[in-house]
């Protein structure tokens, strides 16, 4: 339905996309890839406006979240900006935000036996030039690179699909530079990827 041909490279500037209404009043979204209107494989930027909530709902094939701004909450806790969450297949929750928040959300993309629940406050991770592994299941790896220096971004499986969310700083891929607030999906990549010599945060997903 939207950007579901994984053989095609995509680079989107998130600031250029329009917000769209979701089924919940006060919850907006910017779809990046989607297999069906309100179900299935989905990647989005989601905004909870101040004091809004989403009705209780399940995640049949899992949910992966990175909080970009504000504080996101559900009945299990409060998660500030920089938190990485994984809700396992078959899990349920009732999300809300008192002060408002912006999230990067991936729905229904887990392997059925990937049942690990993850809660990581990445603000507590050091700023080394090597990506921090947040989660791995089989060949699917999610990492966060936090650095204030120029650094190479290692790609462990060049023939596998790779995604980058440039949260802060910039990313250089094959001589093209992507500044913060970009989402990039490549069917494969075997060249050189580097960051600039400046504060940088990039979420990297392979496989």
> Over pLDDT 90: what percentage of the chain?
83
User: Has residue 26 got a pLDDT over 90?
Assistant: yes
Give the residue among 5, 1, 6, 3 at the shortest CA–CA distance from 159. 6
Query: pLDDT-derived band of residue 154, with 50, 70 and 90 as boundaries?
Result: confident
Whether the pLDDT of residue 98 is over 90: the answer is yes
Taking CA 44 as the corner, what is the angle to CA 91 and CA 136, rounded to the nearest 5 degrees?
55
- The mean pLDDT value for 139-167 works out to 90
Band (196; pLDDT cuts 50, 70, 90): confident
**How far apart, in whole angstroms, are the C-alpha atoms of residue 203 and residue 182?**
11
Residue 175 is encoded by which pair of tokens? 């001589």
Q: Please give the C-alpha separations between residue 111 and each of 85, 136, 164, in angstroms, as whole numbers.
A: 16, 11, 20
pLDDT in tens, 109-146: 999 899 999 999 999 998 888 899 999 999 999 999 99
Q: Which of 195, 175, 163 is nearest to 11 (CA)?
A: 163
Tokens matching residue 153: 């971004």
pLDDT of residue 4 exceeding 80, the answer is yes
Buried b (16+ CB within 10 A) or exposed e, 162-174: bbbbbbebbbebe
Q: What is the pLDDT of residue 123?
A: 94
pLDDT at 205 over 80: yes
CA-only gyration radius of the chain, Å = 16
Least confident of 1-5, 140-144, 166-170, 172-176: 172-176
The two three-digit tokens of residue 72, written as one number: 């996101």
pTM of the shown model: 0.96
How far is Cα 140 from Cα 171, in angstroms, rounded to an integer? 21
User: Please, which pLDDT band fits residue 15 given cuts at 50, 70 and 90?
Assistant: very high
């Amino acid at each position: 339905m939207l950007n579901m041909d994984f053989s095609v490279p995509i680079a989107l500037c998130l600031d250029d996309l329009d917000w769209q209404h979701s089924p919940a009043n006060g919850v907006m979204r910017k779809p990046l890839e989607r297999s069906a209107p309100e179900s299935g494989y989905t990647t989005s930027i989601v905004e909870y406006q101040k004091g809004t909530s989403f009705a209780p709902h399940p995640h049949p094939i899992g949910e992966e979240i990175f909080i970009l701004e504000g504080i996101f909450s559900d009945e299990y806790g409060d998660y500030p900006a920089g938190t990485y969450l994984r809700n396992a297949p078959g899990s349920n929750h009732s999300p809300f935000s008192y002060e408002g928040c912006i999230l990067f959300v991936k729905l229904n993309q887990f392997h059925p036996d990937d049942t690990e629940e993850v809660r990581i406050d990445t603000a507590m991770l050091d700023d080394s030039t090597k990506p921090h592994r947040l989660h791995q299941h089989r060949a699917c790896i999610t990492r966060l690179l936090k650095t204030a220096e120029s650094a190479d971004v290692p790609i462990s499986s060049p023939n596998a699909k790779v995604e980058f969310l440039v949260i802060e700083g910039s990313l250089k891929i094959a001589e093209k530079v992507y500044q913060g607030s970009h989402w990039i999906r490549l069917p494969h990549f075997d060249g050189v990827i580097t960051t600039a010599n400046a504060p940088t945060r990039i979420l990297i997903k392979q496989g």
